[in-house]
Structure 1
């Protein structure tokens, strides 16, 4: 079983990944500023701010996989790119794989086309989307030697506002956005977590991928 640290492990995405990984017997540590409303049995919970010196290094130490599922809002607004950069430097030293959870706006409508973030993103989400994409582009352009990294973008319709149902199905694609048979793009929190933990176990992809139902 893998030792997995989930940064942002009490949030919507991070919490789903924590539950899925723990249900399979992995050794899961959740890092978050807030205590969980409903702790998952067997999970080790650590309350921490990643703006504190040494917090990122402590989260990476001794792990096989580090999942970054933080949201660049509140005290972390403007900080996510730096945190991912620190994780990228520290992960190879520990022999850990880095999995970064991004957003749909980092995908492209077609090969070579501008990312969705460069288009009509609602003002309320633009700063977050742009920061996530900067973190992705830093990995694409200047990932440290020896870093094993994966950046995962969920479907367009994804989040606590549209939790959906657990179907046990998902599709993985590259950095070009996928659509379902009806031209939609959606995935539930449970199915997204299923895809992420399957990938942790199977280690089939590297770079930037997208996941939809």
Structure 2
């Protein structure tokens, strides 16, 4: 049975790729955007994320948050946006899937060190903010969430190969020591997770080539 999904921040680079993948698989897709819908989604909700209500998102099988922001003054919105979406989906069967970051992936078996620990201070802002949002999401047992981290090298213009490796909370690399994935192949993984009969409920997973 075809899924009925909403993609929040659908006009962004990741959001558009996820919409494309879902539409091409026959899903009924609603783009949630603040202005003109620039995607191929069949429907659109023209609203700011923070103005969304429970009624707006009622009845969807899944809601994807592709929210991203790069203004240091607004990094807290990684947390506040997920809190708002979680609050309005609380207690429902609608899944919340999050386009995450790689910085919070663990680099030791004890899970005490993260990839972002090695980043220069001037680029730590986004991964730290995203990691804080993930920590808050982990405390939610009233929402069916899945957080999907991309590889370290997340390539907006990378090819759609149709292949990816599914991993867990640990930072992993290929045989050459590389950690990369394209937005297009990340979108495949996201839609696969939406379609899965055995979803990663209340888990963070990661994907790479």
Gap runs ≥5 in structure 1: none
Report what 1:172 is aligned to. 166
TM-score (norm 2): 0.88
1:29/1:46 contact within 8 Å kept: yes
- Greater helix share, structure number: 1
Give matches, 1:48-197, under 5 Å: 48-52=47-51, 55-74=52-71, 77-111=75-109, 112-121=111-120, 123=122, 125-140=123-138, 142-145=139-142, 147-160=143-156, 163-197=157-191
When the two chains are superposed, the root-mean-square deviation of aligned CA atoms in Å is: 2.0
Off by >4 Å, runs of 4+ in structure 1: none
Distance in 2, Cα, partners of 1:133 & 1:58 = 29
Q: CA deviation at 1:113?
A: 3.1
Distance in 2, Cα, partners of 1:149 & 1:51 = 18
SS of 1:60 mapped into structure 2: coil
SS of 2:180 mapped into structure 1: coil
Distance in 2, Cα, partners of 1:50 & 1:130 = 22
SS of 1:168 mapped into structure 2: coil
Kindly indicate whether residue 204 of structure 2 is the aligned counterpart of residue 208 of structure 1: yes
Q: CA deviation at 1:121?
A: 4.2
Q: What do residues 162-202 of structure 1 show as CA deviations (whole Å, max 9, x unaligned)?
A: x2111110011010011011100111111110011011101
State the number of aligned residues: 204
Distance in 2, Cα, partners of 1:56 & 1:109 = 38
